[in-house]
Chain A
Amino acid sequence: MQGEARTTPLVEMRGITKLFSGVTANDDVDFSVKAGEVHALLGENGAGKSTLMNVLYGLYAPEKGQIFIKGTQRVFRSPKDAIAAGIGMVHQHFMLVQTQTVWENMILGLEGTGFFLPRRKIQDRIAEISEHYGLQIDPSAFVWQLSTGEQQRVAILQMLYRNAEVLILDEPTAVLTPQEAGYLFKTMRRMKEEGHGIVFITHKMHEVMNETSRVTVLRKGRNAGTVMTNETTPEALAEMMMGEKVPIDLFKSPLQPGPELLEVENISVLNDRGLPAVEGLSFCLRPHEILGVAGIAGNGQRELCEAVVGLRAVTEGKIYLQEEDMTHASPRAFIDRGVHYVPSDRKQVGMAADLDVNVNSVLRSYWQAPFSRHGVIDWSSCEEHSRNIIDNYHVSVPSGRTPVRNLSGGNLQKLLLGRELSRDLRVLIAMHPTWGLDIAATRYVREQILCAREQGCAILLVSEDLDELMAMSDRLAVIFKGQFMGVLAEPSAVSFEKIGLMMAGSRASEVLKEEECCHEA
């Protein structure tokens, strides 16, 4: 803790207030980062974490408040100013040019590189930094060739290349395997030793407890408290976030699964680039049962889900729904038979965001009675339907005429879930249903899915949140490069470590002991 001794923090934000259209995103927030510390920024979605950091990174101008860098007041008009002051930010969605190489991305937006690029010099510098911080990367690789974890390394390198002293990492572990996260933490420790200050935004409590020295909790745009990590507990932090105590565990009743409902036999599916995304995968879904799918993003989860609901062509294999061959059935045939789908990308895929709630509430049933008859839409029954969803799923929205784009993430997800769950439901395919939701909304969404299970729905749950999968799944499959590494009949009996190994490509048979392993896919 030698950094603690120095008195002037690297960054000090005082009384930051930021408004968006009259809505307070940050309200009189104080925040500081010292040299040699990892400072966790914790809070529910919409608590103002990203806003605060975007203010620090010069993307937003605050209405009130000052920023001091090493004791001198600074005003950032753009990220350029912030970078010049030694502040770097790695966004959740990396700001990298996919079609360029790693080294070309390093000098993006940098001035003083001249007309000809000193490629050698740049590559040497990258090698130097990456060795120093343990960020292994091939400078001449194209960004699109890299995995998400590697792209993150590039984004961090990019900031170090610009001599950033303060690094803001916005939910960096959300996209990583446990192993990759381990490497990241090593890099973070190295940076800490070098005297960098790190702001670490996360939702995961154990990461806060293990990897940080201080925690600031934001609640509804205000600073709910800054504490030393070793002087607090996860429960205390959760209370600070929520303002009240919340029970964390879910009630999942023991149920006997029914006969096989949806059977997938050896299917292969291509991704958008025409490359194999799912290869020879088989499984079945049964009523009263949740099959969880664990895996790192981009291992064929999305393509698998889309294939199983008719949105993506199956190149090989068969899909049966209660004996009926649905391999080449249209998306509509799936919906008409009660197969519903919650996509991960709800705003880009799940909703027509410019249109209102009423229109969106029948997006996947508008051709069915009573919503339309003889080619004419019956708006009054659509409106009634949307009102039912709003009431039953507690969507907070002024009216059914509100454009969906004005809904918050949690409300959007409730609306989407309500829409998919409200009509005769036999099979539910849900991708990251709680991704990016706050604690209350997360809990609500999980309860609704468990409720569907209770009522006899067969569920495929794809998630990156292992805690969620462990708590919800009756069986757990681990996917890697479009194949199941194994299906665990008793997920809670297997350690995170072992599941992590499977997520990184080890087969269940290699990782698990005889008694833990059930059947390999």
Chain B
Amino acid sequence: MRLKIEKRLVPSAWLKVTVPVCSVLMAFAIGSLFLYFQGVSPLKAYTVMASSAFGSAYDLSETIVKALPLAMVSLATMSCFTMLLWNIGAEGQALMGALAAAAAVRYFPMENPFAMLGLMALFAMLLGGLWSGFAGVLKARWNVNEIISTLMLNYIAIRGLEYFVYGPWRDPASLGFPMTKPFIDSARLPTLWGTRIHLGLYVVLFLTLLMWFLLRRSRWGYEIQVIGSNARAAHYAGMNYERSVVLVMFFSGAIAGLAGMCEVSGLEGRLQAGFTAEYGYTAIIVAWLSHLNPLVSLLVAFLMGALMAGGDALQIMMGLPVATSTILQGLILFFVLGGEFFYKYKISWDGGR
């Protein structure tokens, strides 16, 4: 008797659902061991997490607030990942988007909210897109590894933004905190239903459908898929790889930039250091967990938002370290990605002779 591992020729649809669900449950099971050794009742901890993520209308709205940037940045990275372009610079692109939006508010303030928000969005998408498109040009022209270039550009973006909020743009009334003056009212995205959920919700819903359409129905999406699957076949089909790289990187950066703008305009109301809370990286996890499917990404972003909200609660209400929720996130990612093995392969006992 020995284990036999075989590739599944026809992946089962049933497993597509059960495997990730079981994986998440396994992650929580291992997580409960960890919580137990922290001296906390796992059951209580999970109850606290669940209730603070979904317990009340307010909790739910806060979860959605956390999910919005995750969903948007996840969409941004998706087009790149489908093409096997490892753009991990969404964090920096979102920061540049926020910076550009703040610049629009500072230098071109307008009373009309449509004009103001429109200009901010334009600036944000343009700078975010250029930030990422630059890495795209490097890749297309000189085959510079985009993982390295986008990662490095993140650090430049972080320090660049800090320069402005610590320096020339700092609000004199901020008592030394690194932040700009509050935005004028016309530069704030309206919030909905008396919660902190802002208009970005509609932007996310719209972008999700748009992304789905682009990737699954458009000619451009067709090209992205083929290039991602086999660049040589794409060349054979007459596709222009270099142009596609630059275009997709620009597009991806533009959406990440828009996400950055929505965060500062909808939530913070001003530009300050560290506002992204590393959404740019978490969103990469969201994109992967959703198998690069825009519709699924919406759900995954929501669950990830819940996990973050729950993690905050653990910290506040049970005095656990911040790392606790990060560890849970890591466990989930580990198990879900590991679980894909069971989805792709069949394991059986070989009777032998």
Contacts and interface: CB of A to CB of B under 8 A. Distances in A.
Given A366-B222, A376-B218, A350 B236 contact: yes
A335 interface: yes
A355 B219 contact: no
B3 to A, nearest CB: 12
Given A21-B7, A351-B233, A406-B9, A330 B238 contact: yes
Interface residues of A, number: 32
Contacts of A406: 9
Contact of B233 (A20, A335, A363): A363
Contacts of A355: 225-226, 229
A476 B6 CA distance: 47
Interface in B1-34: 6-9
B159 interface: no
A353 interface: yes
B67 to A, nearest CB: 30
Nearest to B8: A21
Given A366-B222, A376-B219, A379-B217, A331 B233 contact: no
Nearest to A19: B6
B229 A349 contact: no
A341 B225 CA distance: 22
B230 A354 contact: yes
Interface in B130-153: none
B230 A375 contact: no
Contact of A349 (B9, B218, B236): B236
Interface residues of B, number: 24
B232 interface: yes
B159 to A, nearest CB: 39
B238 A335 contact: yes
Interface in A353-381: 353-355, 359, 363-364, 366-367, 372, 375-377, 379
A221 interface: no
A382 to B, nearest CB: 9
Contacts of B217: 376-377, 379
Contacts of B291: none
9 contacts: A21-B6, A21-B7, A331-B236, A350-B233, A354-B229, A363-B236, A372-B222, A377-B221, A379-B217
A20 B230 CA distance: 25
Given A355-B225, A375-B218, A21 B9 contact: yes
A311 interface: yes
A426 to B, nearest CB: 17
A63 B217 CA distance: 45
B219 A349 contact: no
B220 interface: yes
| 9 closest cross-chain pairs (CB), A and B | A331-B238, A352-B229, A332-B238, A352-B230, A354-B229, A352-B233, A352-B226, A363-B237, A372-B219
A367 B233 contact: no
B234 interface: yes
A486 interface: no
A364 B236 contact: yes
B7 A348 contact: no
Contacts of A332: 238
B44 interface: no
Interface string A421-444: 000000000000000000000000
Interface of B: 6-9, 217-222, 225-226, 229-230, 232-238, 346, 350, 353
A139 interface: no
A389 to B, nearest CB: 16
Contacts of A350: 233, 236
A140 B353 CA distance: 49
A354 B227 CA distance: 11
Nearest to B234: A352
A64 interface: yes
A295 interface: no
Nearest to A330: B238
B222 A377 contact: yes
Nearest to A336: B238
A366 to B, nearest CB: 6
B219 A366 contact: yes
**Which among B217, B229, B236 has the greatest number of chain A C-beta atoms within 10 A?**
B236
Contacts of A21: 6-9, 346
Contacts of B222: 359, 366, 372, 377
A300 interface: no
Given A348-B232, A349-B232, A375-B219, A364 B226 contact: no
Interface string A454-488: 00000000000000000000000000000000000
Contacts of A366: 219, 222, 237
A377 B221 CA distance: 9
Contacts of A310: 238
Contact of A364 (B7, B219, B238): B238
Given A366-B219, A377-B217, A349 B6 contact: no
A348 B230 contact: yes
Nearest to A373: B219
Nearest to B2: A61
Contacts of A63: 350
A20 B236 CA distance: 32
A366 B79 CA distance: 19
B233 A377 contact: no
Given A350-B236, A364-B236, A406-B9, A377 B230 contact: no
Contacts of B238: 310, 330-332, 335, 364
A178 interface: no
A312 to B, nearest CB: 10
A265 to B, nearest CB: 24
Contacts of A372: 219, 222
A262 to B, nearest CB: 18
**Which among B221, B229, B238, B346 has the greatest number of chain A C-beta atoms within 10 A?**
B238
